[in-house]
Amino acid sequence: MLNDKSILITGGTGSLGKKITEIVLNKYKPRKLIIFSRDELKQFEMSQVYSTEKYSCVRYFIGDVRDKERLYRALQGIDYIIHAAALKQVPAAEYNPFEAVKTNVLGAQNVIDAAIDQKIERVIALSTDKAANPINLYGATKLCSDKLFVAGNSYVGRYETRFSVVRYGNVVGSRGSVIPFFKKCVQNGVLPITDPRMTRFWITLEQGANFVLKCLQQMVGGEIFVPKIPSMNIMDLVKIIGPKCKTEIVGIRPGEKLHEVMIPRDEAQNTLEYENFYLIKPAFKFFKRRFCEDGGKKVAEDFEYNSGTNTWWLTVDDMKTMV
């Protein structure tokens, strides 16, 4: 469905944006693929890999989702948007809350408004497990963003723009994640551990990017897609990266959970289970007519998708392969 289509990726120079770019260029023949981000250095570095000479469909646009006028200009003639731009570092968002709101919330509203006015066909926004029952500002802004994109379907009026959301867990090896941090700590011989019981959902960049593209194809508008992915325990990661290192328990940081949740129990009533993913239907009744429960079954009323109670766990060997 991406052949001969024009696609724009906000935050396109990020880890996931680059992986989606790689997959799209290798598997499809888009008419245009626009990398929209605010960092000129990252765009320069990315252009060394995906040059406009080699890939004539690729364009690099300097811009910020906070700037609605620039979005309007960039979205002319675009068919699909993959919205990956965000301020995502939990400590940075706690210390700079206004900045996180400007990008993650107001930026989301700008994308929605511009997409409707420019008659974009489909918009899929990337979310995070931290948006489910959030306890930190980053999670709260992404929950707000998710709500905006779902509700955006009611703002389209006579236009046919559709908005959906993809929510998944920690991406293995992405910038700012625990793996590069641990690898640096190995040099000192000590790995700081917040809590030995801590668990997380894990997904690779390749899996995350392919899931986003699959959801872009399947979306009808208003739903939140959640992939079925495995959980990991932090101490298993220690065995892989620093088996000879000492560990130091430093305690859970502000805004951090012991276990992550991707589907809270309160959303179980709107959740359908499929073979490889869950789908959270919108609470708005007038959206529900879009969904035929083809192949999907309702989950139990007390269902919760929690990294600590997940039935699928990575073994140490599995994690070693991923790392």
Residue 271 falls inside a structural domain: yes
Whether residue 288 lies in the annotated active site? no
Residue 129 falls inside a structural domain: yes
Is the predicted pLDDT of residue 286 greater than 80, yes or no? no
Residue 222 falls inside a structural domain: yes
Residue 260 falls inside a structural domain: no
Q: In the chain, what percentage of residues exceed pLDDT 70?
A: 97
Which residues of 170-313 form beta strands (DSSP E)? Answer: 170-171, 190-193, 199-203, 224-227, 231-233, 246-249, 261-263, 271-273, 277-280, 297-298, 305-306
Query: How far is residue 266's CA from residue 195's CA, in Å, rounded to a whole number?
Result: 27
Radius of gyration in angstroms for the set of CA atoms belonging to the chain, rounded to a whole number = 20
- The residue range of the domain holding 211 is 6-169+205-227+265-303
Residue 251 falls inside a structural domain: no
Is the predicted pLDDT of residue 159 greater than 90, yes or no? no
| pLDDT score for 256 | 87
CATH number of the CATH domain containing 140: 3.40.50.720
The burial of 308, by beta-carbon neighbours within 10 Å (0-12 exposed, 13-18 middle, 19 or more buried), is given as middle
Residue 161 falls inside a structural domain: yes
Total domain count, the chain: 1
Residue 106 falls inside a structural domain: yes
Higher per-residue confidence, 1 vs 138? 138
Residue 219 falls inside a structural domain: yes
SS (H, E, C) 55-118: CCCEEEEECCCCCHHHHHHHCCCCCEEEECCCCCCHHHHHHCHHHHHHHHHHHHHHHHHHHHHC
Per DSSP, the residues of 165-177 read EE---EETT-TTS
* pLDDT tens-place string over residues 169-209: 888 867 667 888 888 898 889 999 999 999 999 999 999 99
Give the number of other CB atoms < 10 A from CB of residue 129. Answer: 26
Question: Which among 130, 142, 257, 281 is annotated as catalytic?
Answer: 130
Is the predicted pLDDT of residue 293 greater than 70, yes or no? no
